[in-house]
Amino acid sequence: MNFKKGIASIILEIAVVAIIIGAFILANPKFKFSPQTTPSPAVSPSPPPTDETANWETYTNQEIGITFKHPNLTITSEDIEELQSTVIFETLGAKYTLTKIKTVKNNPPSYLETNRQKTISGILWKDFVPENNSQYCDAGECGRLLPAYYTFRNGYIYIFYYLPIGNMELTEKILSTFKFLDSSPQPSPSKSPTVCIQVIQPAINQQTGECKNFPTPCDVPEGWNKVSECPSTSECQPPPKCNGQLIYGDPNPSDPNQCPRYYCAK
């Protein structure tokens, strides 16, 4: 019995000591445990996208009516004509040919027809990519087809040919800066626009005596006299041959059938 009482006394003492230690730990803030948390890695904001073309130089051609930016352009050829103008240039190892051609009803050359298109900075471009080693022949002459972007404006087609064929990324960056110049003449605020009646206007050349019909009175050039009707050439004498200036005279402007008179300047 004494042995069992001893065991019970020891267990009781251990329990009392455990309670005292536990109460001490709970009462002392130094021994409070907080759950360990792993800090989340700081997420840095993504840098804003940079405009690669911001520091590019600007090429402007007033005759063609266009402007665009480029990284380092070298002009190799310029040919400016009314019906067709061409500028050939190189930049960053890529070769370009910009062509402006007078067109009818916005029809591209047959060899550039394509359904691919994309809008770049507000301009709709047709995107022509030729098949491998494809060629175009005209009047017995054949040549390799080049990739190109083209668009239409005011009766002209603007074509950007480029090489190498995989250089679309640089080409589209250039086209993102492409703009048309506003070259249309503005009417003077002090003058009203000219309105011309749409009637056939006969006129006689003061120097040669030739009489011809012009589409409108506004189309009669300087050096021609307007008449109501061209006289019959079979009834009128031809102008004399003069060593100096031939002078035209109209004896009766109110009579359209009156033959003109000519004088040789003395």
The CATH number for 102's domain is: 3.40.1000
The range of the structural domain enclosing residue 253 comes to 201-264
Q: What is the pLDDT of residues 138-189, one digit of tens each?
A: 656 677 788 899 999 988 999 999 888 777 889 999 999 999 997 444 344 4
Pairwise CA distance, residues 254 & 252, whole Å: 5
Between 139 and 80, the higher pLDDT residue: 80
The residue type found at 241 is K
- Residue 9 domain-assigned? no
Cα torsion 20, 25, 26, 28 to 10°: value is 120
Return the percentage of the chain with pLDDT > 70, whole number. Answer: 61
**Are residues 176 and 208 both part of a single domain?**
no
**Are residues 145 and 175 both part of a single domain?**
yes
If one counts every other C-beta atom within 10 angstroms of the C-beta of residue 207, the result is 15
Of 24, 40, 96, 111, give the one whose Cα is nearest residue 66: 96
**Are residues 71 and 173 both part of a single domain?**
yes
* Model pTM score: 0.51
Q: What is the pLDDT of residues 93-152, one digit of tens each?
A: 889 999 998 887 778 888 888 889 999 999 999 999 888 767 776 656 677 788 899 999
The domain total for the chain is 2
Pairwise CA distance, residues 145 & 131, whole Å: 8
First to last CA, the chain: 169
Pairwise CA distance, residues 206 & 211, whole Å: 9
**Are residues 208 and 242 both part of a single domain?**
yes
Report the mean per-residue pLDDT for the chain. 76
**Are residues 236 and 166 both part of a single domain?**
no
Evaluate the CA torsion angle 60, 173, 148, 181 in order and state its sign: negative
